Amino acid sequence: MSTRIEIRKAVPADAPAACSLLRRSIEECRQDDHGNCPQVLGSWLGNKTPSTVSAWFSTPSNFALVAESEGQLVGMALLTQAGKVALCYVLPEALRCGVGRALLGALEDQARAWSIGKLYLHSPAGASSFFERHGYLNAGKEKSCFGLECDLLWKRMDGACEAEAGGARKRFCNCSG
């Protein structure tokens, strides 16, 4: 894969390729998390359809991005105005090429533009270390909406209080500011 990555706003026409990317990433990169369990995998992939992804991209309160390299979609991410990093996925062959880092950085820039103080997400255990390397604190385990046990991760956008956070285990920073 080329190291040249272009990040741009997602449009509904990107939905079929983005849907394929999501499904491949989950099926191939998160096998340790879903364990090829048909029930978990079916639930996780259940809403990953082109029409659903198109609706996510069209929702005004969502900020959706895609990453392209040589004309191919290699990553996608979505932030809600509530501060949830709802999606951050990369094609298996594009892992460790800076795609995820670029997408996450762009989401964080948008969060600051929206004056969002904290971001949060539910990450499968196998992907949590990526977010932790980018300053997200692990607040513990929670069940996701599709039944997979995930890590609840969060990050203050102003950088305050992370030293006070009591390590990676404190649920949410309760200091003022």
Task: CATH number of the domain at 97, please.
Answer: 3.40.630.30
Instruction: Considering only residues 24 and 18, tell me which one the structure prediction assigns the higher pLDDT.
Output: 18
Please state the separation of Cα 133 from the chain's center in Å.
14
Task: Give the C-alpha separation, 96 to 81, whole Å.
Answer: 28
175 confidence band (pLDDT: 50, 70, 90): very low
- How many structural domains compose the chain? 1
In a domain, 23, yes or no: yes
- Residues ≥6 apart with Cβ < 8 Å to 61: 80, 81, 82
Do the domain assignments include residue 129? yes
Domain assignment present for residue 64? The answer is: yes
According to the per-residue pLDDT averaged within each range, which of 27-36, 58-67, 141-150 is highest?
A: 58-67
Q: Which of 18-27, 137-146, 159-168 has the lowest mean pLDDT?
A: 159-168
Is 60 inside any structural domain?
A: yes
For residue 36, the enclosing domain spans: 6-158
- For residue 125, give both structure tokens: 């255990």
Looking at the DSSP assignment, which residues form a beta bridge with residue 88? 77
